[in-house]
Chains A and B, each alone.
Chain A
Amino acid sequence: MMFRLQVFLIVSLGAALGAAVEVQRPRGVPLEKRHFYDESRPFTCLDGSRTIPFDRVNDDYCDCKDGSDEPGTAACPNGSFHCTNAGFRATFIPSSRINDGVCDCCDTTDEYNSGVSCQNTCRELGQKERETLEKMAEITREGFLLKRQLIEEAKQGLQEKQGKLSELQASRKEHEEKVDALRTVKETAEQPEREAKERHLKAWEAQKAALQLEKEKAKMAEVFLELDGDADGLVSVSELQTHQELDPDGDGALTDTEAQGLLSGADKVDSAGFQNVWSNIKDKYVSESQPAPPPPQEPQDSEVDQDKDSSKDSDKDADQAYPEDDAGDEEDDEEEDDDDDVPEEYDDKAPPAGPPAEHSDDSDGAMPSYDEETQALIDAAQKARDEFDSAEKSLREVDDQIKSLEKEISFDFGPSAEFAYLYSQCYELTTNEYIYRLCPFNRVSQKPKYGGSETNLGSWGSWNGPEGSKYSIMKYDHGTGCWQGPNRSTTVKLTCGKETAVLSTSEPSRCEYLMEFSTPAICQEPPSLETVAPETDPHDEF
């Protein structure tokens, strides 16, 4: 068995007696519930659960489950106490705040036995509240007038924009047609241009090929003479064997059979027959007049390799070309091995392996300039192209304008588009450390006052107010990410005001910002000319 036992230590039994002094009703009972508390009859708990003798009302012991027998004491955990607060607004407080030493009711009635002395502040509070309410009402009134204006402006603005849009849409067609026409012109002009250019190119290539052939022949003749050691007009197997580098199987020795093979099975060939042989050996042949590997050719080859092959070869070449840099580079690479970013940088800095390839290609000679006729065709085509491009650009511009207008027109600027005026505006607030910038329907940002880069506190997300007042809160999200945290976001609370301004900013939680923003667009229509008299306001009854 387990039971409870109440011990009254310091409790004032005087409380109940004291209550009797206040005549009309027991302490803590609101006027309209007075009739439930009739001294002449037993008291029935307001939930009907129990009936008790009336002297157990406000006797500082909880009898009713709903707490209704102790309206003026702290005995019931779920009770509430009514402060009349004459001069201000009547209110209920939890009964746990009766006689707790803290002044809650402005009429001091909650602290009748705690020893604390409270000042009756109802009159001042009432006054202050009335003033505030009046001020608020005035702001609301004026703000609402401004809002009407804003709605009107927005309506006009919308019309204008719609007009502009249809205008643009119409002109878009013109632009489109123009683009189409110019495209045809361009294509017509480009055809002859292309043909002329091709002709020119072909002619030049033919010329180049002829030249190359000549060179080749000369070279072959030269080699033939060089090989033909005995000058008998024939190149023999043994003569060929003076050039071991021609060894086809790479074993380092050019055997008789191999040499014969190179000579297409013959023992010797004459200069005419040598043509076939030359094509077999020209890649390997090393001229005797230049015993060292021919320098002009070698780098060229390596360049080709580098372009075609993996970087391995080129690295090798690079190493050969710059042996001294080699060691240093490698050390650096090792040091930075665990770091991903740095080695690439070093690679970039690695010296290129020889002169750039393009140059040597061009060294054969540039293409001769176009003849007059071709040039004229090119110029004409270029002009057509330019005209087409600029027409197309104008079309794109028109498209962009249309898109942005459509976006603006379709934007949710509130029930009567009263927030439209905020579009493409920005508002700033400077605090001790930062300059905050709110560009409604776009983004919020923060910039240190004394230098430093801007931080994105969120981009326009949506209207985010609770049901019924959706337009009272704007939400901006997906701002710059926080270290180990979420992306920054900002909640903008709109309050009614004559001015449009950022009133305050705070960061209640890390990376979640809160802004107060005043605008007339949120002002509600004042109910009527008479303001509410606070004393008689019967709200808050349950």
Chain B
Amino acid sequence: MWMFWAAWLSSCLTVTVAVDRGNFKTCDQSAFCKRQRAMTPGQSPFRALLDTLELSDSRLTLQLINDNNKVRLLLELYRLQGNMTRVKINELKPLKPRYEVPDILVTDPPTEPLSVVSRDENGVVLSLGAEACRLIVSAQPFRLDIMEGPQVLLSLNSRGLLMFEHLRPRKDTWRYPSFTFLFFQAPDEENAKEDESGMWDETFKSHTDSKPNGPSSIGLDFSLPGVEHVYGIPEHADDLKLKTTDGGDPYRLYNLDVFQYELYNPMALYGAVPVLLSHSPQRTMGIFWLNAAETWVDISSNTAGKTVFGKMLDYVQGASETPQTDVRWMSESGIIDVFIMLGPKPADVFSQYASLTGTQSFPPLSALGYHQCRWNYNDQEDVRAVDAGLDEHDIPYDFIWLDIEHTDGKRYFTWDSSKFSQPREMLQGLMDKKRKMVAIVDPHIKVDSGYKIHNEIRAKDFYIKNKDGADYEGWCWPGSAGYPDFTRPDMRAWWASMFAYDQYEGSMENLYTWNDMNEPSVFNGPEVTMHKDAIHQGAWEHRDVHNLYGFYVQMATAEGLIQRSGGVERPFVLTRAFFAGSQRLGAVWTGDNAAEWGHLKISIPMCLSLGLVGISFCGADVGGFFKAPSTELLVRWYQTGAYQPFFRAHAHVDTPRREPWLFGPENTAVIREAIRQRYGLLPYWYQLFYHAHRTGQPIMRPLWVEYPEDAATFTMDDQFLLGRDLLVHPVTEEGARGVTAYLPGRGEVWYDIHTFQKHNGAQNLYIPVTISSIPVFQRGGSIIPRKLRIRRSTSCMENDPYTLFVALSPQRTAVGELYIDDGHTFAYKENKFIHRQLTFANNTLISRFVDLIFSFLLSSPCV
């Protein structure tokens, strides 16, 4: 969603906004990041007080002391089920509680016993279970090492960058005699430090952050010996493989509404998932930094081990040649709560992470179809005409979308009385065609005493407060707007209840929801978002919860859609802002991209990165949001989008219309064919989503996930796998006459899905292309179900036969699956589905039940 605020700002504040980096902070402009980064690798001032060690069945606690200021921290170590370690560090006695992120973990992660293997004055060696897996706590300087046999897998604080700004009283209030504090008063050095600017307030552009709690940032370094490739920490418009950040800004995680974002830089975007994956041919691991405040991640790659290891580590070679990647996390507030996922295989890391934050929600099948969107479809007649246009050109689609203009003056949950006077009639018209609609509901609420939603929120006192205690007000689409406090469970419950059919006037069961602007976007706020000193329930500052806001908005909305159906129907909610765990709630898209070839190309690494950290239901605006795509670009984007999980065309209000049939019959035919390929493969897509939902494995995968030992794949992000069995190399170059796809797997074969031509694995294959080409290959040895009767929408195809595409391995065998359920309810949870394991060998296809309990209301498959 693009914004007029640029114009508004320039008139109001006489700032020239040609939106650029200047509107967003660099690390240097973010006081805590600057302070953190000013600390350079060296001897850590922290020392573990081994005599404070306490070991219970599931956890170890230990105090750390900062020898510079004598502040004590409490370290907690947990060994978690599934080969994970959790490290928590908080102040031993904080002046007031520090924020710990709730609601993201699906359960309190189950633990496994920790045991002390050996212990002396230099440290403690703990056993992490089998395979000689050890956790070593070194006392002075404090550091943690996780080892497998002689191999160091990962070290914490090995570069001495642990930094923990303890809460402290403000100096100018120090004089008041009534204040007495019981903690160690910092000696000179600390006082000297306190002169640093930005600790008690910070100004960026015209905005001042009052920082009543003073400095509170945390930081910690992780070293990964033997690792050259790290991935994840979305959302950034950058390559799949993360780059080193030496000499530049760190990767930033701070949900922001970035107008016309640039490609290939570490600037923050709409969402944040603080999960980083490391990969080497030997091992894949993950680091989940559970913190919702503004976070920066530095990545450097140099040779390992400058600091002295404990004696357990002595036999580790000098390691000057071993490649090593160092990662440093810095957050503005909260505590250090980090989950180390030890793999060892990519699939293990995905399961481990899924066990913490949950899996991809299982969307209704229709949500996997094609989505026709535009800001805006002007009125009901426009909706009808576009629906008819798609039928006339025999293009299937499942959802048509309405952006903000459908509302009565940007009052969400309402309809423009003249343009959309009969929403139910419109929705019924779509329902008659077995189609659906999505209408936007943003979290900024127009301050208007004639608006029911606003009045109720105000009456219930659900709005976020500003630092002075009044309702926080910011400028957004409707003008002055309040922001409901979605961190409150009671607020979320109320919000969910607003989606009930009798509350949301004009809604019907085929109306779904889109949450935009939920970073939250505040046009006149610092960095186009909320002031960090705004106050949420529990007196938490916005600074503490910022990256959670969008997650909670989607959570409340998805809950609303579930509740309105009495818990029967699966919801579908699209969000722009997200956090770790957002995969449980619906789909995300990559925000306001542009109709440029570079943006088409970047959609692949952006969605791959999200998939690696659990969020599989990802897509980019097909065609590009800003600007008008050339016909070739639009066609190529449809072809690429048809093979990405969330497939929606969208366009800015100021761009010319671009419904698929507006570019001449030849191009209409090519676009139609791309969309039809999507519909043909929906059974496979659906099965992949079911798997993602059950196991947490990504749907759209980088090649290295399936070929972890093939170094040629480690940086590849112009092609990808869907599941294990489809390899897609979309054409993303203007005027391309051919692409070179890498077919992985020595001894494997791949089949072109259009020509059935066979190609050997482990080769770079040049494929000549025309405008209608979408290079896609099926892995030999796989069976992929398709539906070949392409109809108007997914539910029109519900009862159609499946066609199995059996691609034989060189051994003339193949395996696959078929998953079928009703496509839209939670009945699958009661095992109301068909899930068949298909095996082809000896010229015979055998189908077996995958799940023991089998019941499905329709007939059984005959093979």
Complex: A96 Cα to B808 Cα, angstroms: 30
| A171 CB-CB contact with B under 8 Å | no
B804 close to A77 (CB less than 8 A): no
In chain A, positions 511-541 with a C-beta closer than 8 Å to chain B are: 511-512
B795 close to A9 (CB less than 8 A): no
From A25-33, A413-421, A459-467, A478-486, the one touching the partner chain is A478-486
Complex: A508 Cα to B804 Cα, angstroms: 43
| A10 CB-CB contact with B under 8 Å | yes
From A97-105, A438-446, A468-476, the one touching the partner chain is A97-105
B804 close to A101 (CB less than 8 A): no
A248 CB, min distance to chain B CBs, angstroms: 57
Contact of B799 among A2, A10, A486 (CB under 8 A): A10
Name B676's closest neighbour in chain A (CB-CB): A77
Contact A77 to B790, CB < 8 A, known contacts A5-B803, A5-B806, A485-B654: yes
A2 close to B418 (CB less than 8 A): no
Contact of A7 among B7, B791, B863 (CB under 8 A): B863
B343 CB, min distance to chain A CBs, angstroms: 34
A510 close to B845 (CB less than 8 A): no
Annotate B635-675 by CB proximity to A: 1 below 8 A, 0 otherwise: 00000000000000000011111000000000000000000
A7 close to B394 (CB less than 8 A): no
Please name all residues of chain A whose beta carbon is closer than 8 Å to the beta carbon of B656 when the two chains form the complex.
Answer: 486, 509-510, 512
Please name all residues of chain A whose beta carbon is closer than 8 Å to the beta carbon of B67 when the two chains form the complex.
Answer: none
Please name all residues of chain B whose beta carbon is closer than 8 Å to the beta carbon of A100 when the two chains form the complex.
Answer: 434, 791-792, 796-797
Please name all residues of chain B whose beta carbon is closer than 8 Å to the beta carbon of A103 when the two chains form the complex.
Answer: 432
B260 CB, min distance to chain A CBs, angstroms: 11
| B756 CB-CB contact with A under 8 Å | yes
A7 close to B789 (CB less than 8 A): no
Contact of B654 among A101, A508, A510 (CB under 8 A): A510
| A369 CB-CB contact with B under 8 Å | no
A494 CB, min distance to chain B CBs, angstroms: 20
| B758 CB-CB contact with A under 8 Å | yes
Please name all residues of chain B whose beta carbon is closer than 8 Å to the beta carbon of A507 when the two chains form the complex.
Answer: 378
- Main SS at interface, chain A: loop
Complex: A77 Cα to B798 Cα, angstroms: 16
Q: Taking each of B418, B785, B802, B805, which has the highest tally of chain A beta carbons within 10 Å of its own beta carbon? A: B802
Contact of B801 among A1, A6, A485 (CB under 8 A): A6
| B38 CB-CB contact with A under 8 Å | no
A97 close to B805 (CB less than 8 A): no
Contact A2 to B789, CB < 8 A, known contacts A9-B802, A510-B655, A512-B656: no
A2 close to B859 (CB less than 8 A): no
| B800 CB-CB contact with A under 8 Å | yes
Contact of B808 among A2, A4, A97 (CB under 8 A): A2
| B751 CB-CB contact with A under 8 Å | yes
Complex: A196 Cα to B494 Cα, angstroms: 98
A66 CB, min distance to chain B CBs, angstroms: 16
| A402 CB-CB contact with B under 8 Å | no
Please name all residues of chain A whose beta carbon is closer than 8 Å to the beta carbon of B654 when the two chains form the complex.
Answer: 482-485, 510-511
Please name all residues of chain A whose beta carbon is closer than 8 Å to the beta carbon of B859 when the two chains form the complex.
Answer: 9-10
B804 close to A102 (CB less than 8 A): no
B804 close to A4 (CB less than 8 A): yes
| A11 CB-CB contact with B under 8 Å | yes
Name B780's closest neighbour in chain A (CB-CB): A2
Contact of A2 among B433, B792, B795, B807 (CB under 8 A): B807
Contact A506 to B378, CB < 8 A, known contacts A8-B862, A75-B789, A100-B796: yes
Please name all residues of chain A whose beta carbon is closer than 8 Å to the beta carbon of B798 when the two chains form the complex.
Answer: 101
| B450 CB-CB contact with A under 8 Å | no
A11 CB, min distance to chain B CBs, angstroms: 5
Complex: A97 Cα to B392 Cα, angstroms: 12
In chain A, positions 325-366 with a C-beta closer than 8 Å to chain B are: none
A3 close to B861 (CB less than 8 A): no
A510 close to B653 (CB less than 8 A): yes
A220 CB, min distance to chain B CBs, angstroms: 64
B107 CB, min distance to chain A CBs, angstroms: 37
A508 close to B791 (CB less than 8 A): no
| B93 CB-CB contact with A under 8 Å | no
B805 close to A74 (CB less than 8 A): no
B791 close to A74 (CB less than 8 A): yes
Please name all residues of chain B whose beta carbon is closer than 8 Å to the beta carbon of A9 when the two chains form the complex.
Answer: 799, 801-802, 820, 858-859, 861-862
Please name all residues of chain A whose beta carbon is closer than 8 Å to the beta carbon of B382 when the two chains form the complex.
Answer: 506, 508
Please name all residues of chain B whose beta carbon is closer than 8 Å to the beta carbon of A5 when the two chains form the complex.
Answer: 803-806, 845, 863
A167 CB, min distance to chain B CBs, angstroms: 50
Q: Taking each of A11, A77, A100, which has the highest tally of chain B beta carbons within 10 Å of its own beta carbon? A: A100
Please name all residues of chain B whose beta carbon is closer than 8 Å to the beta carbon of A509 when the two chains form the complex.
Answer: 655-657
Name B435's closest neighbour in chain A (CB-CB): A102
| A432 CB-CB contact with B under 8 Å | yes
Complex: A507 Cα to B376 Cα, angstroms: 11
Annotate A90-131 by CB proximity to B: 1 below 8 A, 0 otherwise: 000010110111110000000000100000000000000000
Complex: A7 Cα to B836 Cα, angstroms: 12
Complex: A252 Cα to B780 Cα, angstroms: 106
Complex: A485 Cα to B651 Cα, angstroms: 14
In chain A, positions 1-48 with a C-beta closer than 8 Å to chain B are: 1-11
A4 close to B862 (CB less than 8 A): no
| B83 CB-CB contact with A under 8 Å | no
Annotate B594-609 by CB proximity to A: 1 below 8 A, 0 otherwise: 0000000000000000
Contact of A114 among B7, B799, B801, B812 (CB under 8 A): B799
B861 close to A7 (CB less than 8 A): yes
Annotate A373-415 by CB proximity to B: 1 below 8 A, 0 otherwise: 0000000000000000000000000000000000000000000
Please name all residues of chain B whose beta carbon is closer than 8 Å to the beta carbon of A96 when the two chains form the complex.
Answer: 394, 789-792, 796
In chain B, positions 812-863 with a C-beta closer than 8 Å to chain A are: 812, 818, 820, 845, 858-859, 861-863
Complex: A114 Cα to B785 Cα, angstroms: 22
Contact of A101 among B394, B758, B795, B862 (CB under 8 A): B795
| B778 CB-CB contact with A under 8 Å | yes
Q: Taking each of B780, B792, B803, B820, which has the highest tally of chain A beta carbons within 10 Å of its own beta carbon? A: B792
In chain B, positions 422-472 with a C-beta closer than 8 Å to chain A are: 432-434
B196 CB, min distance to chain A CBs, angstroms: 33
Complex: A422 Cα to B751 Cα, angstroms: 65
Complex: A75 Cα to B789 Cα, angstroms: 7
Please name all residues of chain A whose beta carbon is closer than 8 Å to the beta carbon of B797 when the two chains form the complex.
Answer: 100
Contact A508 to B803, CB < 8 A, known contacts A77-B788, A100-B796, A483-B7: no
Complex: A486 Cα to B859 Cα, angstroms: 57
Complex: A3 Cα to B756 Cα, angstroms: 8
Contact of A6 among B434, B790, B796, B803 (CB under 8 A): B803
Annotate B675-717 by CB proximity to A: 1 below 8 A, 0 otherwise: 0000000000000000000000000000000000000000000
Annotate B406-424 by CB proximity to A: 1 below 8 A, 0 otherwise: 0000000000001000000
Complex: A164 Cα to B443 Cα, angstroms: 69
Name A96's closest neighbour in chain B (CB-CB): B791
B758 close to A2 (CB less than 8 A): yes
A101 close to B858 (CB less than 8 A): no
B801 close to A2 (CB less than 8 A): no
Contact A2 to B796, CB < 8 A, known contacts A9-B859, A77-B788, A102-B433: no
Annotate A498-512 by CB proximity to B: 1 below 8 A, 0 otherwise: 000000001111111
Q: Taking each of A2, A8, A74, A100, which has the highest tally of chain B beta carbons within 10 Å of its own beta carbon? A: A2
B9 CB, min distance to chain A CBs, angstroms: 15
B611 CB, min distance to chain A CBs, angstroms: 27
Please name all residues of chain B whose beta carbon is closer than 8 Å to the beta carbon of A511 when the two chains form the complex.
Answer: 654
- Chain B residues with CB under 8 Å of chain A are 7, 378, 382, 394, 418, 432-434, 653-657, 751, 756, 758, 778, 780, 785, 788-792, 795-808, 812, 818, 820, 845, 858-859, 861-863
Nearest 3 interchain pairs by C-beta: A100-B796, A509-B657, A5-B804
Using A7-B785, A96-B791 as known contacts, list a sample of 8 further A-B pairs with CB atoms less than 8 Å apart, ordered by residue number in A: A2-B805, A4-B806, A9-B862, A102-B792, A102-B796, A509-B655, A509-B657, A510-B655
List, sorted by A's number, 16 A–B pairs whose CB atoms are closer than 8 Å.
Answer: A1-B758, A2-B756, A2-B778, A3-B806, A4-B803, A4-B805, A6-B801, A6-B804, A7-B862, A74-B800, A77-B790, A96-B394, A99-B799, A102-B796, A484-B654, A510-B655
